[in-house]
Amino acid sequence: MSLNAMRVKAETVQYQGINSVMPIATMNELTFAGWLAEFTAVRTAARDTAGEVTLVAAAAIEERQVDEKGTVRRCDIRFNSPRGRKLASGELKRPEVPEGRDVRSEALRADARRKALARGLPYYFTCNIAQVALYEVAATPSEEDQEVDFVELAPIKNSSEAPAYREKIREEWTRFLDRLENRLAAVERRRPSVTSADVVALRDGIFAISSEAAQRVMRRLAADPALIEEVRTEAAASFNFPATLNPALPSRFMEEVVQILRFGAFVVAQKLVLYRVLEDSGPRRTEPFTLDALTLSANSTDPQAIRAQLDSAFSLAIRRSGDFETAFLPEPFVDLLFTDPEGLVEARECWVGKAWSELLDAVSGASWLSISQNIVGLLYEVIVEERFRHQLGQFYTPEDVVDILITFGVRGPGDLVLDPATGGGSFLRSAYARKRALGASHERTLSDIWGCEITAFAAELSTVTLATSDTHEAAAYPRVLLKDFFELRPGLKTHLEIPGILGRLSIPEAFDAVVGNPPYISYRHLTNLDTIVNALAKDATLLLPKFSGKSDAYLWFIVHATSFLRQGGRLAFVVSSGMLFSDYGIPLIRFLGRHYRIRGVVDSIVERWFPEADTNTILLLLERENDTATREANEIRFVRLRRPLAQIMPSPGAADRRDAIESFLDDMLDGPIDVLDPRMQINRVAQGVDGGLTLTEADEGPDLLEEDE
């Protein structure tokens, strides 16, 4: 920690109990800040006692300077959540000093706003003990901040009058906090994921199904070593899940069985979702069809009866639609899910009909045609237990992040796009929507988008995601390969055969965009190092970096992806922020400097895009450039977001979303730099010969905060 940071930490005081009776002579800004911190703490304690949730939990006091007379100057207050997250901040002055006579003075507001911007806060306030004014930070640089609340705390002109009004100040301050908390809660809800409730309901249904079947399946597996080996093989091949399934370790055995059953339930849940989508969209298609409403016997204790009802419905969907066999036929772990009860006890405890009926209700309760997000892809990732998700490096990429990267990478209707690690297919779906919006046809769009996935079911899921991206269109044939990305190379002939096209398809020689979220798998867990080394050895035209043995998987993805990009093509990845400060990041940055114009490196001070992951992430925006002079003359833009992306961009499905994202990208990468931009802070670094490792920054004006928080 720097000396400056230690100074700030020492000067930041969280209220722990300040005497309520103070001599008049000590009435300065710090004293009044102590009062307000005390009142905030009392309010929090009262709410805790009443069992109420409190968003504004505490007020931290920061004293900035002490003059030669010992007077505290520029004292401010910052509100924190129960976990210490910053919520809002404000400036405090006494009413008798020039800066405090008018609580709305421009100087006071400017100081408060500057600090709120630096911290990425949506609200700030000014206070002079007599009054408090609350302001909402504007959404864009062209807009003005709005005063949204004003409270009379006490009818005083001088701070010496304040003790007589202490109780009134407490009451009015509490009311001010109540209203502020309501506004902050509204910001939290401003645009939650449109699928959050649906995903939770589907997840809970899947969890219930796996719990219902777990004991029967554990009994069945423990009695059949050959079946255990078969399930192990299927888990590795379809889901890249390294299960041991050892009944001698009962706790781990049960944990792995439950996870495997979740995978199996998800397979069927995906089919239920597709059936529901086709039920809505079938009558609207060019060649219309209808499906019968699907019902299940909620009181059934017969797993095979439930399975027969599902199989009958899925067979109907295939016959009526004339397509979607690839989505409805795969059945990994489905046989396990519908294991029959053995004996009277298991039969009495079997509630298979109830479990599957509840999942069907969750599917039926969502309006699938009106939802733009890749719900099925998100669901696939949230059903993986956290410990296994860290092991597999699987984390769902938020839609706002996906759309920013796709918008940067895909610029024309004819662009060829590659995602080298498709996961649930979110990037493929976004690329499809982007190309269609730019004017490409359904079939042309699918022919231009390529995906690669090492896990069998994820590859199948990505195929279904693409094939059903527009359920009003006739089905076409996505280019999704079940392959290790490091086994691919430009021009390679694949196993894919498309009706109407002679022979097997070959991978394009060069792509316009490589986009995605490569896995964050530690070098210790990589099982394909030989494949990686062999692939990079064939990338003869690249100046390969000399990574250390501790390099994570995403670094190799970046290097290998470079050989797939044409001159001027773009790479847009979510990667670990570790590349900016780790030893292994240095050779990577130099590699980027030799092959790309590094257009932007984006992070956020107000949200973590992968809150469950062990690492923070950044967005890496690159443009392939073969000319040395052009690369070295480039200016890298380091962008730090001050607003959650959900507050910067319109909601998914909004008519103006695409234009808004394009405009935001233009502002980030090419627009003029405004230190008071409420959305972001931008610093420029000359790329030079080493990818910007020599940090010669352009002069962007003063920092908004004097301290390093």
Domain ranges (residues) in the chain: 3-188, 196-371, 390-686
pLDDT tens digits for 590-611? 899 999 999 999 999 988 887 6
With contact defined as beta carbons under 8 Å apart, do 316 and 324 qualify?
A: no
* CA atoms within 13 A of residue 488's CA, in its CB half-sphere: 30
The answer to whether residues 380 and 471 touch, using CB atoms and an 8 Å cutoff, is no
Contacts of 582 (CB under 8 A, 6+ apart): none
Task: Give the containing element (helix H, strand E) for 197.
Answer: helix 196-222
Q: What distance in Å separates the CA atoms of residue 37 and residue 34, rounded to the nearest whole number?
A: 5
**pLDDT value at residue 398:** 84
DSSP per residue, 224-289 = -HHHHHHHHHHHHHHH-------TTSHHHHHHHHHHHHHHHHHHHHHHHHHHHHHHHHGGGSSS--
Query: For the segment 217-261, what is each residue's pLDDT rounded down to a tens digit?
Result: 999 999 999 999 999 999 887 777 888 999 999 999 999 999 999
Give every CB contact of residue 219 below 8 A, 6+ residues apart in sequence: 342, 346
Closest CA to 143 of 186, 118, 113, 115: 113
Q: Of 89-103, 218-232, 347-361, 689-703, where does mean pLDDT reach its minimum?
A: 689-703
Tell whether the model's pLDDT for residue 427 goes beyond 60.
yes
If we measure between CA atoms, which residue out of 620, 510, 609 comes closest to residue 571? 620
CA distance 558 to 592: 9
Task: Give the integer Cα–Cα distance in Å for 125 and 555.
Answer: 44
Class of CATH domain 3-188: alpha beta
- Cite the beta strand spans of 349-466 per DSSP E: 417-419, 449-453
Half-sphere exposure (CA, 13 Å, Cβ side) for 433?
24
Strands 417-419 and 511-516: parallel
| Backbone φ, ψ for residue 208 (5° rounding) | -65, -40
- Paired with 310 in beta bridges are none
DSSP class of residue 636 equals: E
The larger pLDDT score, comparing residue 115 to residue 14, is at 115
Band (pLDDT 50/70/90 cuts) for residue 526 is: low
Distances (CA, A) of 259 to 207, 226, 280, 386, 389: 9, 20, 31, 11, 11
Within 105-165, residue ranges assigned H as helices are 106-119
Task: Tell me what pLDDT residue 381 has.
Answer: 66
Helix (H) or strand (E) holding 440: none
Q: How confident is the model at residue 582 (pLDDT cuts 50, 70, 90)?
A: confident
Superfamily of domain 390-686: Vaccinia Virus protein VP39 (3.40.50.150)
pTM for the model stands at: 0.79
| Average model confidence (pLDDT) across the chain | 83
Kindly calculate the radius of gyration of the chain based on its CA atoms and give it in whole angstroms. 29
Which of 58-72, 547-561, 582-596 shows the lowest per-residue confidence on average (mean pLDDT)? 58-72
DSSP state of 524: G
452 CB contacts (<8 Å, ≥6 apart)? Answer: 418, 419, 420, 421, 422, 480, 481, 483, 484, 485, 488
Q: Is 560 helix (H, G, I), strand (E, B) or coil?
A: helix
| Contact by Cβ (8 Å): 424, 380 | yes
- Asked if residue 511 has pLDDT above 70, the reply is yes
CA distances from residue 607 to 389, 570, 624, 644 in whole angstroms, order as listed: 20, 26, 29, 6
pLDDT, position 491: 94
Give, for 632, the enclosing helix (H) or strand (E): helix 628-633
Count, in order, helices (H) and strands (E) of the chain.
24, 20
Q: What are phi and psi of 544, to 5 degrees?
A: -75, 140
Q: Which helix (H) or strand (E) holds 572?
A: strand 565-576
Q: Pick the more confident residue, 145 or 197.
A: 145
Cα separation of 374 and 372, whole Å? 7
- Alpha-carbon distance of 212 to 308, in angstroms, equals 18
* CA dihedral for 554, 379, 204, 48, sign (positive or negative): positive
State what percent of residues in the chain have pLDDT above 70.
82
